Amino acid sequence: MGKGCKIKVRDDEMSRVIEMAWEDRTPFEAINKAFSLSERDIILLMRSELKQGAFRLWRKRVSGRKTKHLMLRPASVLRGHCPTQYKVRSKTKH
């Protein structure tokens, strides 16, 4: 892990943690359950792994976002991803 961060995440898990942190509908609690990282740990990890501008953009994006916390998210949000995410799309041949 870069820039002196003390959070322990295996290299093969790092990109997944960062991806989950960027996803709007993936709550911090899900990241905690999967990787044993608190919200504070995730913030420290993102600060150490992202460029400064990307980190600021991420913090602005997730700060106050109700879907990033299970207790704050609306009851209508039942899953961690939108219905069209992760669907395989077939390529059309010309």
Number of domains making up the chain: 1
Residue 55 has a pLDDT of: 96
Burial zone of 22 (CB within 10 Å; 0-12 exposed, 13-18 middle, 19+ buried):
middle
Domain membership of residue 28 (yes or no) is yes
Q: What is the pLDDT of residue 80?
A: 52
Let me know if residue 61 belongs to a domain: yes
Is residue 79 domain-resident? no
Kindly state whether residue 24 falls inside one of the protein's structural domains. yes
**pLDDT for res 8:** 82
User: pLDDT digit string (tens) for 15-70?
Assistant: 999 998 998 878 888 889 899 999 999 999 999 999 999 999 999 988 876 666 56
Q: What is the pTM of this model?
A: 0.67
Task: Say if 82 falls within a structural domain.
Answer: no
Nearest Cα to Cα of residue 32 among 21, 47, 44, 19 = 21
Domain of 55, in residue numbers: 11-68
Is residue 2 in some structural domain?
no
